[in-house]
Amino acid sequence: MDAQSRISNNAPKTSPSAVIERPGSAGRFDLGFGEHRDGLVIFSERGPGFVGPSLLRPDGRHRFIGVHEDRPESITQADFSEDGLYYHDFNQSLGSSSRRLIKAVVDEDDKFLLLGHFRSGEQVFCARITETGAPDPDFGDNGQVTLPYTAPWTGYGRRLTVQPQDGFIVLALRNSAVGEPARDVIVRLDRSGSFDPRFGTCGVVTAPEPNIAFEAVQVQADGKLIVAGRRGRKAMLMRYGATGLPDKTFGCAGYLELEPARDGNAAFFDIAVQPDQKIVVTGSADLTHNIALLTRVSADGKLDDTFNSGVPWELPELDISFALAVQEDGKIVSAGHINSGSRCWLMRHLSNGELDPDFGDNGISRLIYIGDSTSYLSNLELQPDGKILVSGRYATHSALIRCYGN
C-alpha cells in the first residue's frame, strides 16, 4: 500500500496505481478492517505526535497505548473495536515528568505493563495500569516504579516480558550509575513492583562483560531466561537460570554468537520460544550495511539444522528485522523495515526455514510506503483466528495494520 496520503482516518485519496488486494490471501491487507476497509487504522484523533503500539485485548478490541507530545507526562490510550473502528481515547497522568514509552505488554491479569524512560536522563520507569487506564494501586508507588537504570528509545527490541506462572516482570536495562561500570542488566520485579531477592543479586543480574548489549529477553517454559543482543560485533544469544545464574551448558560456553555479514555490527532484537522450546531470533546481520537476520536455535543453544539446513537467513533487501511471532502451525512471522522505516514489511517462513510461497509475494509482504517519513511498526501479534497485527510509530502518528494469516 502506498500510504503517503493516509495520515489520519479521514477518507484516503484515490490513486490510479492503488492495488486491490485479493481477500483471504495470506500476507495481504484485511479488507474488512478499519473505517475505510483497507486494513489500516491510524490513531489520529488527537492530532500528530502520538507514539505507541496497539495491544490486542482478550475480547478482540484494540488498545493504542503510548505518549503524546502534547501531554508527555501522561499515558494516552485509545480504544478501537474488533473491526478497527474508533471508540474513544483518554489520558492518565503518572506524575509531572515528561516521558517516553519503550515497550508495553499485557500480563496474566489482563493489565498493561509499561516500560519507559523519563526524557531527562533516560531513567527507567515501569508502570502497571488497569483496563480502565487507571494506575494499579497494588504496584509500586501508585502504579509506578522508578528504577536506577537507563534504557534508550530505539523503536524496537523486547526489553520487557512476563513470567506468567510467577507474575515476575523481567526488564533488560543499562546500569549507568556514576562511579559504576556501564553494563547492561536484567532486572526481575515481583507482582508488587519490588526487586525479587531470589533472582541474581537482590533482583539484578549484570552482564558479564562491558561489551555485551541486551536488546531482548524472553522466558522458556521451565522459567529460564533467553537473552539476545550483541557481544562486541557479533549477534549474541545467552541463557540464565530461573535464579539468575548463567547457563554454561547453552551454546558454546554459555553463548551462541553469529559473526556480522560484512564489516559492521550484528545484533538480535527479538526472540520467540516455540512450544518445543526451540528459539527463533531475528535482528540485523550487519547494522552498517542493513542486512536483516533470522535463524532458529535448538533448546541447548546450537543452530538448528532442521531450519534452512542450519544456515541463518541474511536478507540485504530487507534492511532490519525487529519482531517475531510463531503461529500454531509452526510457521514463523517476522516484521521489519527498509530505508529507516519508509517501507515496512512482513515475512513468513515455513517450520523448515523455507520462505512460505503462499504468503505475500513468495514469502514477503511489503506493507506500506510512506515516502521520507519514519515508521517503526515493531509490535507484532497474532489473533486467535490467525490474522496478523503489526503496529507502532507511523510517520507523525501510530498505526495498526491487520493482514490475513491463512
94: number of Cβ within 10 Å? 19
Cell of 70: 502534547
- Domain extent, residue 191, equals 40-403
Distance CA 147, CA 400 (A): 31
- CA 234 to chain CA centroid, nearest Å: 21
Q: Is residue 352 part of a domain?
A: yes
> Mind listing the pLDDT tens digit for each residue in 140-170?
999 999 999 999 888 788 999 998 877 789 9
Query: For residue 258, what is the domain's CATH number?
Result: 2.130.10.10
pLDDT for 167:
76
382 Cβ contact list (under 8 Å, min separation 6)? 325, 327, 333, 388, 389, 405
Q: Is residue 396 part of a domain?
A: yes
Q: Is residue 34 part of a domain?
A: no
- pLDDT category, 85, cuts 50, 70, 90? very high
Distance CA 50, CA 45 (A): 10
Q: Alpha carbon of 284 to those of 29, 227, 387: distances in Å?
A: 26, 16, 26
- pLDDT category, 18, cuts 50, 70, 90? very low
Kindly tell me if the per-residue pLDDT of 5 is higher than 60: no
Q: Is residue 321 part of a domain?
A: yes
Q: Is residue 310 part of a domain?
A: yes
Average pLDDT of span 359-368: 91
Q: Is residue 332 part of a domain?
A: yes
Distance CA 278, CA 280 (A): 7
Q: Is residue 30 part of a domain?
A: no
Q: What is the pTM of this model?
A: 0.92
Q: Is residue 361 part of a domain?
A: yes
For the chain, what is the domain count? 1
Would residue 329 be called left, alpha or beta, if left means φ above 0 and alpha means ψ between -120 and 50 degrees?
Answer: alpha
* Residue 384 DSSP SS3: coil
Q: Alpha carbon of 188 to those of 124, 130, 172, 376, 397: distances in Å?
A: 14, 21, 9, 27, 32
> Mind listing the pLDDT tens digit for each residue in 186-243?
999 999 999 999 999 999 999 999 999 999 999 999 899 999 999 999 999 999 998 9
